[in-house]
């Protein structure tokens, strides 16, 4: 049997290894110059918006919500078509999550659904760039009408994407990134928070470092001595070490190549699947330049489970992204119920992610398409579960 072809995989080169080894041989393994340099490199992809590197994508969300001042009594609006961390990190700060449905073409947060939600106690509206396709940020801003809620972009899938020609990272008040191995670049584990406001960025940087205040001008008792540091608000250790920042800097140099290859593979999938009965390919808007972290198809006529099982048996590591967040037992126990977000739930019933990563060869992709066609042919149609 052929080796399992994963749905996502990192691309690590000798240059990446050399960058990491150089830091291992240096004086700074963490809180050193590579952190500042990585953050500066990231700002080159966010239109100059400042960034704070953190230990992973979940940490990025936690840091961003904390920087926004999310706490008990606040509400955070989140789409259900995302990984649970987009919601659970707000819950961890004491907030109540309000789930708003997604748009039927891009499966990103629907501005109309946000507009239908009461926003009197809303602290943050968190959009998710599902599969690497940007949410409709101008429409979301219009719904908020210049009110108090901050707009957050969960851009775990979309670094390098653009919306009306503007880069992801500059579109919302706060933007979070993830650099997990399957993402569009990797630091093994890692993430970042971009903040348009310098004050929000400073709050993010403090929270990721225990809340420590070392700037004497900001301290309450600055004359204690050169060792002195203060904690004004509690934070956590979410630092990303120099070793991994060096890997990220090396990866960023290849991000244009990664994005271009992903786009090529998406175009090949689109062409190969255009006339294949029983599936539909991902939609996109004319104003979007997606980063294509995922290639999510819909498998119709209740055959998703059978197709998933058949392709896994054939060595094709398809995946489902995602179980709607409000379906998880932890949220069900908080009172959330199925049926509240029908677009997202209907999409979940049919969604299947095909392998997509820069080192995927044309031959491997053809193998995926052939296996999908065979699985569809073998799977009987039935009513969707």
Token pair recorded at residue 360: 């995927």
Cβ-in-10-Å burial (0-12, 13-18, 19+) of 310 comes to buried
C-alpha dist (Å) from residue 70 to 52, 81, 93, 372: 18, 22, 7, 44
User: Closest Cα partner for 82 from 336, 340, 327?
Assistant: 327
Q: In the annotation, is 123 catalytic?
A: no
Residue holding tokens 């392998």?
Answer: 355
351-354 vs 288-289, strand pairing mode: unpaired
For Cα atoms 22, 23, 24, give the angle at the middle one, nearest 5 degrees: 90
For 160, what's the count of Cα atoms within 13 Å in the CB-facing half-sphere? 24
Contacts of 112 (CB under 8 A, 6+ apart): 143
Of residues 123, 133, 183, 206, which has the active-site annotation?
A: 183
Positions annotated as catalytic residues are 183
């Amino acid at each position: 049997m052929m080796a399992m072809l994963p749905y996502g995989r990192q691309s690590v080169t000798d240059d990446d290894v050399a960058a990491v080894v150089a830091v291992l041989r240096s004086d700074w393994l963490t809180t050193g110059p590579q952190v500042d340099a990585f953050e500066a490199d990231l700002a080159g992809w966010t239109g100059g918006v400042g960034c704070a590197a953190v230990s992973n994508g979940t940490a990025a969300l936690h840091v961003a919500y904390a920087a926004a001042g999310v706490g008990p009594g606040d509400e955070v609006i989140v789409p259900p078509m995302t990984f649970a961390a987009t919601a659970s990190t707000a819950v961890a700060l004491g907030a109540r999550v309000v789930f708003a449905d997604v748009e039927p073409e891009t499966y990103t947060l629907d501005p109309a659904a946000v507009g239908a939600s009461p926003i009197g106690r809303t602290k943050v509206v968190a959009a998710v760039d599902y599969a690497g396709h940007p949410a409709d940020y101008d429409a979301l801003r219009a719904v908020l009408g210049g009110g108090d809620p901050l707009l957050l972009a969960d851009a775990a899938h979309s670094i390098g994407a653009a919306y009306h020609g503007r880069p992801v990272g500059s579109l919302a008040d706060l933007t979070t990134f993830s650099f997990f191995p399957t993402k569009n670049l990797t630091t093994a584990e890692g993430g970042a928070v971009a903040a348009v406001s310098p004050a929000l960025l400073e709050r993010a940087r403090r929270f990721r470092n225990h809340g420590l205040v070392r700037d004497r001008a900001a301290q309450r008792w600055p004359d204690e001595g050169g060792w002195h540091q203060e904690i004004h608000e509690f934070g956590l250790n979410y630092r990303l070490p120099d070793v991994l920042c060096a890997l990220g800097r090396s990866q960023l140099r290849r991000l244009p190549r990664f994005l271009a290859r992903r786009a090529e593979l998406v175009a090949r999938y689109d062409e190969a699947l255009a006339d294949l009965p029983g599936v539909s390919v991902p939609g996109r808007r004319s104003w979007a330049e997606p980063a294509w972290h995922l290639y999510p198809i819909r498998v119709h006529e209740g055959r998703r489970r059978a197709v998933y099982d058949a392709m896994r048996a054939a060595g094709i590591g398809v995946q489902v992204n995602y179980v709607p967040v409000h379906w998880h037992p932890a949220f069900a126990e908080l009172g959330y119920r199925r049926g509240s977000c029908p677009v997202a739930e209907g999409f979940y019933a049919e969604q299947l992610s095909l392998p997509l990563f820069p080192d995927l060869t044309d031959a491997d992709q053809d193998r995926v398409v052939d296996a999908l066609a065979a699985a569809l042919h073998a799977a009987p149609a039935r009513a969707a579960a």
